[in-house]
Amino acid sequence: PEYWCSIAYFELDQQVGETFKVSSTYSSVIVDGYVDPSGGNRYCLGALSNVHRTEQSERARLHIGKGVQLDLRGEGDVWLRCLSDHSVFVQSYYLDREAGRAPGDAVHKIYPSAYIKVFDLRQCHRQMQQQAATAQAAAAAQAAAVAGHIPGPAAVGGIAPAISPMLGLSAAASIGVDDLRRLCILRLSFVKGWGPDYPRQSIKETPCWIEIHLHRALQLLDEVLHTMPIHDPRPHD
């Protein structure tokens, strides 16, 4: 893709400023709290104004400092360096898997000066294919059950989709395109954490955070959806 990622900056649940696109000619990008928009691979959040800015966002912004650096490696793997004097908090399916957690179950604290892999393109591609196949099989099994073709997945000659016991048939069938898109997105909050271990349950309650869309992964998702289109049962917001 022409751009390898695009970065949107938020304060609480509101996007501030334009989405920043990083050209594939740069293999790294810095997101910091300063005001000097000097190049195509540096996104300075300090320059962004927000008439609805709260005091907590104002305070947190002062601590972003040197922020973070994202490095693109190979075709689409991403590594993160915390340049700030304060920890940052990341939602990453790759780190969930490495930590043995369920996808989307954890928020990972990255300490100052740490350098860590946060996204693996191959793993993401596999996960997309598995989820899309599961959703397809479940939807087919559901449709067959509704039509009265099979009394249940265990019936002789019935279709028994490969669905983990944790995921019921209807849950598997309701995996939508938005769920798969989430696999291609990293979310990172500065200074303040959120999630199961913090008072803030959602990243939309943190004073300043960014969402990073990874374009190569989104391209692969398009290919997966073309080969196995999944019915998205829920209305889009």
Indicate if the pLDDT at residue 234 is higher than 70.
Answer: no
pLDDT at residue 235 tops 80: no
% pLDDT > 90, the chain = 68
Residue 141 banded pLDDT, cuts 50, 70, 90: confident
Highest mean pLDDT among 157-161, 192-196, 214-218: 214-218
The mean pLDDT of the chain is 88
209-214/115-119 β-pairing: unpaired
Residue with tokens 């290919």: 223
Residue 14 has pLDDT above 50, yes or no: yes
Per-residue pLDDT band at 144 (split at 50, 70, 90) = confident
Per the model's pLDDT, the better-predicted residue between 38 and 218 turns out to be 218
Max Cα–Cα distance, the chain, nearest Å: 67
pTM of the model: 0.86
The answer on pLDDT for 164 being more than 60 is no
Q: Specify the pLDDT at position 157.
A: 47
Beta carbons within 10 angstroms of residue 190's beta carbon: 27
Residues in the chain: 237
Nearest to 181 by CA among 237, 143, 140, 142: 237
Instruction: From residue 152, give the alpha-carbon distance in Å to each of 70, 110, 141, 163.
Output: 48, 46, 9, 14
Contact 9, 37 (CB under 8 A): no
pLDDT band at 155 (very low <50, low <70, confident <90, very high): very low
Q: Are 14 and 49 in contact (CB under 8 A)?
A: no
Between CA 34 and CA 225 the distance in angstroms is 40
> What's residue 115's pLDDT?
98
Interval 80-133: pLDDT, tens:
999 999 999 999 999 999 999 988 889 999 999 999 999 999 999 999 999 888
